[in-house]
């Protein structure tokens, strides 16, 4: 925590980067200046489009030449100005003095090369070590990132490793040539929260061991609080504020920083209250006291596997969801929380009859088990889904209004002018202008697109909405507004949500009841207060302990 | 792997049975009468009938087909009507020429396709890319005989670098292989280009660049192996296509391959030869695909795992 007043390792001064667009040049990085001191962790935090990744790519000299270009400024590493360096000289810096770990461990390793080949190639490139030497270094590096049985791992391929292990390999690769600076661009964003905690711990350990300085790029203020010595907050290509971590979190001077911190969902923020906070102005909305549940799930199981084909044994069936039961009443939210592979999304799909399952799923009094498609149609009217990725779940060639009207057309509801009215009303309902109907998805931001998806889901006036990671792809400030919208719609329309998320804090904010899933089973279920304030299951406890807390004073380590 | 091969062998047998049945039916439905063709224009009805009986053509269709199948199972493809020799031997005699042309043609198209496809992908949107794409379009759309005659005129007639036609020396194979290769290279270049563009945008290529590797190493070691899979599949298909005979090219260059044999047989309604060639090329297509399926997991460990 004590930052030595040494000469900085890396000095970025007045860095400007331009994007080449058909409309001419556009500035994407504007006058960026910061120092990275020896042995410190600098977190660059900001929302999407703030320029934090462009900053890291500029340092690595990896800007896509066709579209982005450093316009002015300098990046000094020791006595070298990286901006002015020749291609060849830059190559020895990349992976040598400055190394990088990327966000997506699943795709950042070459699928057709063995782990060993990918590790040793960097070592050979920068240290000139030959054959056995490089292998030995690679083994030591895997050992350093706590991968068991390193000798065997070297001959394995990326697909044989889990996401967390792959990210360990990426870190081993980055550190193998003992870089002065390690840039980690959202290194844990794609990982489960318990794995994230492990990787963050590993990075802290290795920083000591290898004496590297770290630039950690993240959108997650919890991760920032956990890791940063100093913080730079970016917005729209500028650094709006930088300083010591404690002062940024406790005395942010800029409005944007304050807003950003305020929007961060905090686990435990709703302790002591029942159910989600009320957001609508209407004080006396009659909470539907209807006793009959809108969704009743009993002994739901989903198995994956392949049937036997001639000459081949089928794959043994694998239970993705195993004997899950719960009920959901109108106006209520059941938060389904768990890590990847826990079966929470599969449960959501099975509930809507989108995949085959065994057991009973009763939606609005109708058992959908084994229902043919034709009889499923009226059930679909009362149960809709909102997906994770608002970019992928809207047809880019379909105007927003047409997308929202499509469910009405499919179900044969209303004439043309009635539909237009309904679309306009729905757009207003989700906080968009009615004239949005004639525009196309690419004209909208991520948050607006998710609003469109919500409007589409509402078109049929459903009683139940399955929301699968519906805010996971959104920035925190946008996320908070979309969650508020969902709460408001619930209060005014009496919607029931099956709210599927990996994010404990978001689930805490949204849910009346919570079910924690692991390995296809519900390990703990109860009211939100019971589960979050007095977790009984060890896994629930571990999950909650792993969530990074956006407060530097509450770090998990000394 | 052994299971894959076993499965494929059973599949192959079924496919060949199907191909045999369909071809047999189609040939039977032809208006031409092979017995009349053999007997000649002036033959009496009695002679024609005799020949028909001799060849078994007077039997019901199913009996004919059954007899044929029995022959195949014993490795006997029947006797040619016109040439009065064993069809298997005729095809076997043509095999070396066909295999040489196939190998040379595929080599030329793959090498050209890879070189130009990779260059175009690396220079995407640039002048080189546009020129390569334009040229490949010509390659994709030009008729075989035009290219064949053009090459023949320039390199054999005018320059005299290569023989006009025939088979025997290495020089003989150059022009026919070049014709096939130039035409096929258009497809390959386009496919390599789009596969490479896709791969070069992958995260792992960025990782490779972040390691400070040279561009040559990034392209050849990291990108290319990932882009090869669709190319391997296409080579598998080409093996089958070229084995079936490349009629036009063989005709222009007087290349004694299976294509020529098939062409003569069609003119003479020499049903056993047509059947034989069809079965051999069907077999080649299946084997080409099997070969591609065997090579693919050697390149991509993810397929091995399945």
pLDDT tens digits along B166-202: 777 777 888 888 888 888 888 899 999 999 999 998 9
B305 contacts in A (CB within 8 Å)? 159-160
Q: At what angle do helices B271-299 and B224-243 cross, to 10 degrees?
A: 170
Say if the Cβ atoms of B207 and A170 lie within 8 Å: yes
Q: Where in chain A is the domain with CATH 3.40.50.300?
A: 38-59+96-262, 295-308+317-548
Q: Residue A254: helix, strand or coil by DSSP?
A: coil
Are residues B187 and B113 in contact, defined by beta-carbon separation less than 8 angstroms?
yes
The pLDDT of residue A499:
95
Query: A129: Cβ–Cβ under 8 A, 6 or more apart, which residues?
Result: A123, A137
pLDDT score, position A213: 92
Separation between Cα atoms, residue A406 and residue A410, nearest integer Å = 6
Contact A99 B210 (CB under 8 A): yes
Is B95-266 a CATH 3.40.50.150 domain?
Answer: no
What interhelical angle do A115-127 and A163-175 show, nearest 10?
Answer: 10
Work out the pLDDT band at B115, boundaries 50, 70, 90: very high
Q: Which positions ≥6 away from A24 have C-beta within 8 Å?
A: none
Residue found by looking up tokens 């435990």 in the block = A268
pLDDT at B7: 81
Nearest to B210 among A95, A104, A113 (CB): A95
Query: With 60 as the cut, is the pLDDT of residue B6 above it?
Result: yes
CB contact under 8 A, A107 and B204: yes
Enumerate the domain spans of chain B.
Answer: 95-266
Is B213 in contact with A121 (CB distance < 8 Å)? yes
Contact check, Cβ <8 Å, B299/A113: no
Contacting residues for B17 by C-beta, under 8 A, at least 6 apart: B69
Distance in angstroms (rounded) separating the CA atoms of residues A64 and B224:
20
Q: Does B41 touch chain A (CB under 8 A)?
A: no
Residue of A nearest to B221 (CA): A113
Neighbour-count burial of B165, counting CB atoms closer than 10 A to its CB (0-12 exposed, 13-18 middle, 19+ buried):
middle
Q: pLDDT value at position A308?
A: 57
DSSP-derived secondary structure for A326-383:
EEE-TT-EEEEEE-TTSSHHHHHHHHTTSS--EEEEEETTEE-TT--HHHHHHHHHHE
Ranges under pLDDT 50 in chain A? 1, 3, 284-286, 558
Distance from C-alpha of A145 to C-alpha of A195, rounded to nearest angstrom: 13
The C-alpha of A98 sits at a distance from chain B's nearest C-alpha, in angstroms, of 9
Written in H, E and C, the secondary structure of chain B is CHHHHHHHHHHHHHHHHHHHHHHHHHHHCCCCCHHHHHHCCCCCHHHHHHHHHHHCCCCCHHHHHHHHHHHHHCCCCCECCCCCCEHHHHHHHHHHHHHHHHHHHHHHHHHHHHHHHHHHHHCCCCHHHHHHHHHHHHHHHCCHHHHHHHHHHHHHHHCCCCCCCCCCCHHHHHHHHHHHHHHHHHHHHHHHHHHHHHHHCCHHHHHHHHCCCCHHHHHHHHHHHHHHHHHHHHHHHHHHHHHCCCHHHHHHHCCCCHHHHHHHHHHCCCHHHHHHHHHHHHHHHHHHHHHHHHHHHHHCHHHHHC
For A110, name the nearest residue in chain B, comparing CA atoms only.
Answer: B204
Model pLDDT for residues A123-166, shown as the tens digit of each residue = 888 887 666 788 888 888 898 888 888 888 899 999 888 888 88
**A101 and A87 Cβ atoms separated by less than 8 Å:** no
The predicted pLDDT at position A315 comes to 61
Looking at residue B194, what is its pLDDT? 92
pLDDT of A558: 45
The number of CA neighbours under 13 Å toward the Cβ of B139 is 23
Confidence of residue B1 (pLDDT cuts 50, 70, 90): low
Chosen for mutation from A110, A121, A183, A305 (greatest number of chain B CBs closer than 10 Å) is A110
**Residues in chain B within 8 Å Cβ distance of A310:** 7
Q: Residue A182: what pLDDT? A: 92
Nearest-Cα distance to chain B for A154, in Å, is 14
Ramachandran area for residue A474 (φ above 0: left; ψ -120 to 50: alpha; else beta): beta
Structure confidence at residue A1 (pLDDT): 47
| Beta pairing partners, A475 | none
- Contact by Cβ (8 Å): A242, A234: no
Residues of A in contact with B210 (CB under 8 A): 60, 62, 94-95, 99-100, 102, 174
For every residue of A83-120, DSSP letters joined together read TT--HHHHHHHBTTTEEEE-S-TTTSS-TTS-HHHHHH
Q: What is the pLDDT of residues A204-242, one digit of tens each?
A: 888 888 888 999 999 888 889 889 999 999 998 899 999
- Helix axis angle, B170-200 relative to B87-122, nearest 10°? 40
Of A90, A100, A159, the CB nearest to B305: A159
The confidence score (pLDDT) of residue B3 equals: 75
What confidence score (pLDDT) does residue A193 get? 85
Asked if the Cβ–Cβ distance from B211 to A173 is below 8 Å, we say yes
Which of A48, A488, A32 shows the shortest CA–CA distance to A281?
Answer: A488
pLDDT exceeds 90 at position B126 = no
Measured between CA atoms, the residue of chain B closest to residue A114 is B301
In B213-252, the residues whose Cβ lies within 8 Å of chain A are 213-214, 217, 221-222, 225-226
Give the B window 275-294 contacts with A, CB below 8 Å: none
Q: Residue B212: its chain A contacts at CB < 8 A?
A: 90-96, 122, 125-126
Which of A100, A107, A112 is opposite residue B301, by nearest beta carbon? Answer: A112
Q: Which of A95, A96, A159 sits opposite B302 (nearest CB)?
A: A159
Asked if A108's CB is within 8 angstroms of B207's CB, the reply is yes
Range A295-308+317-548 has CATH code 3.40.50.720? no
Q: A433-462 as b/e, with b when 16 or more CB fall inside 10 Å?
A: eeebbebbbeebebbbbbbbbbbbbbbbeb
> Per-residue pLDDT tens for B80-90?
777 778 888 88
Tokens of A121: 């190639």
Q: Is the pLDDT of residue B259 over 80?
A: yes
Tell me if the domain spanning A38-59+96-262 has CATH number 3.40.50.300.
Answer: yes
Alpha-carbon distances, residue A430 vs A128, A449, A454, A459, B275 (angstroms): 60, 11, 7, 11, 68
Pairing label, strands A333-338, A496-501: parallel
- Using a CB–CB cutoff of 8 Å, tell me whether B301 touches chain A: yes
């Amino acid at each position: 925590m004590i930052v030595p007043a040494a000469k900085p390792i890396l000095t970025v001064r007045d860095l400007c980067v331009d994007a080449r667009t058909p409309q001419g040049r556009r500035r994407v990085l504007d006058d960026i200046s910061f120092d990275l001191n020896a042995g410190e962790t600098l977190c660059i935090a900001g929302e999407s489009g703030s320029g934090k990744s462009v900053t890291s790519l500029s340092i690595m000299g990896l800007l896509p030449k066709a579209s982005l270009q450093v316009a002015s400024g300098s990046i000094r590493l020791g006595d070298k100005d990286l901006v002015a360096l020749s291609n060849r000289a830059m190559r020895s810096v990349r992976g040598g003095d400055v190394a990088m770990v990327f966000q997506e461990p699943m795709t950042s390793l070459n699928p057709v090369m063995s782990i060993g080949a990918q590790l040793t190639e960097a070592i050979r490139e920068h240290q000139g070590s030959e054959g056995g030497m490089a292998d030995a270094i690679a083994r030591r590096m895997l050992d350093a990132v706590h991968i068991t049985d390193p000798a065997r791992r070297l001959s394995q391929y990326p697909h044989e490793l889990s996401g967390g292990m792959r990210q360990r390999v990426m870190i081993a690769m980055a550190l193998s040539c003992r870089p002065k600076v390690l840039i980690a661009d959202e290194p844990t964003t794609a990982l489960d929260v318990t794995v994230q905690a492990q990787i963050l711990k590993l990075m802290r350990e290795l920083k000591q061991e290898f004496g590297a300085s770290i630039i950690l790029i993240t959108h997650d203020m919890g991760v920032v609080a956990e890791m940063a010595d100093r913080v730079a907050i970016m917005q729209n290509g500028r650094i709006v504020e930088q300083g010591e971590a404690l002062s940024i979190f406790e005395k942010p001077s800029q409005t944007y920083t304050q807003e950003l911190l305020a929007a961060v969902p905090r686990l435990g923020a709703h302790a002591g209250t029942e159910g989600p906070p009320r957001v609508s102005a209407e004080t006396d909305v009659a909470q539907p006291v209807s006793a009959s549940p809108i969704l009743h799930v009993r002994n739901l199981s989903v198995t994956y596997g392949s049937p036997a084909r001639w000459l081949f044994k089928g794959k043994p069936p694998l239970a993705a969801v195993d004997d899950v039961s719960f009920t959901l009443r109108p106006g209520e939210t059941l938060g389904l929380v768990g890590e990847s592979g826990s079966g929470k999304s599969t449960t959501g799909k099975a509930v809507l009859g989108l995949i085959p399952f065994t057991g009973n799923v009763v939606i609005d009094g109708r058992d959908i088990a084994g229902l043919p498609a034709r009889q499923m149609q009226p059930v679909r009217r009362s149960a809709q889904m909102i997906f994770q990725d608002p970019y992928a779940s809207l047809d880019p060639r379909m105007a927003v209004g047409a997308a929202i009207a499509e469910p009405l057309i499919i179900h044969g509801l209303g004439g043309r002018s009635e539909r237009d009215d309904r679309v306009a009303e729905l757009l207003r309902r989700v906080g968009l202008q009615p004239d949005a109907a004639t525009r196309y998805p690419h004209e909208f931001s991520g948050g607006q697109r998710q609003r469109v998806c919500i409007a589409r889901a509402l078109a049929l006036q459903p009683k139940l909405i399955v929301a699968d990671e519906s805010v996971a792809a959104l920035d925190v400030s946008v996320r908070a507004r979309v969650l508020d919208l969902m709460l408001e719609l619930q209060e005014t329309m009496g919607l029931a949500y099956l709210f599927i998320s990996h994010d404990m804090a978001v689930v805490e904010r949204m849910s009346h009841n919570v079910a924690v899933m692991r390995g296809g089973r519900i390990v703990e279920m109860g009211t939100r207060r019971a589960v979050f304030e007095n977790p009984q299951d060890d896994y629930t406890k571990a999950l909650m302990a792993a969530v990074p807390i956006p407060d530097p004073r509450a770090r998990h380590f000394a | 792997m052994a299971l894959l091969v076993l499965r494929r062998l059973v599949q192959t047998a079924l496919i060949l049975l199907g191909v045999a049945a369909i071809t047999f039916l189609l040939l039977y439905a032809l208006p031409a009468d092979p017995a009349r063709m053999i007997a000649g224009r002036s033959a009496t009805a009695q002679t024609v009938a005799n020949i028909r009986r001799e060849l078994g053509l007077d039997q019901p269709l199913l009996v004919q087909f059954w007899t044929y199948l029995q022959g195949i199972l014993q490795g006997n493809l029947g006797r040619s009507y016109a040439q009065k020799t064993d069809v298997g031997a005729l095809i076997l005699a043509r095999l070396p020429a066909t295999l040489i042309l196939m190998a040379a043609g595929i080599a030329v198209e793959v090498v050209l396709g890879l070189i130009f496809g990779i260059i175009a992908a690396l220079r995407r949107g640039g002048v080189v890319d546009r020129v390569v794409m334009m040229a490949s379009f010509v390659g994709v759309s030009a008729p075989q005989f035009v290219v064949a005659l053009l090459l023949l005129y320039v390199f054999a007639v005018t320059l005299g670098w290569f023989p006009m036609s025939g088979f025997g020396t290495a020089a003989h194979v150059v022009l026919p292989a070049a014709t096939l290769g130039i035409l096929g290279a258009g497809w390959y270049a386009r496919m390599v280009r789009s596969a490479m563009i896709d791969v070069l945008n992958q995260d792992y290529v960025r990782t490779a660049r972040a390691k400070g590797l040279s561009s040559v190493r990034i392209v050849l070691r990291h990108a290319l192996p990932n882009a090869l899979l669709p190319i391997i599949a296409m080579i598998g298909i080409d093996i089958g296509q070229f084995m079936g005979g490349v009629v036009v090219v063989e005709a222009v260059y007087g290349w004694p391959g299976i294509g020529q044999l098939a062409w003569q047989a069609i003119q003479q309604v020499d049903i056993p030869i047509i059947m034989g060639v069809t079965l051999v090329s069907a077999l080649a297509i299946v084997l080409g695909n099997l070969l591609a399926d065997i090579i693919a997991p050697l390149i991509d460990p993810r397929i091995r795992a399945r």
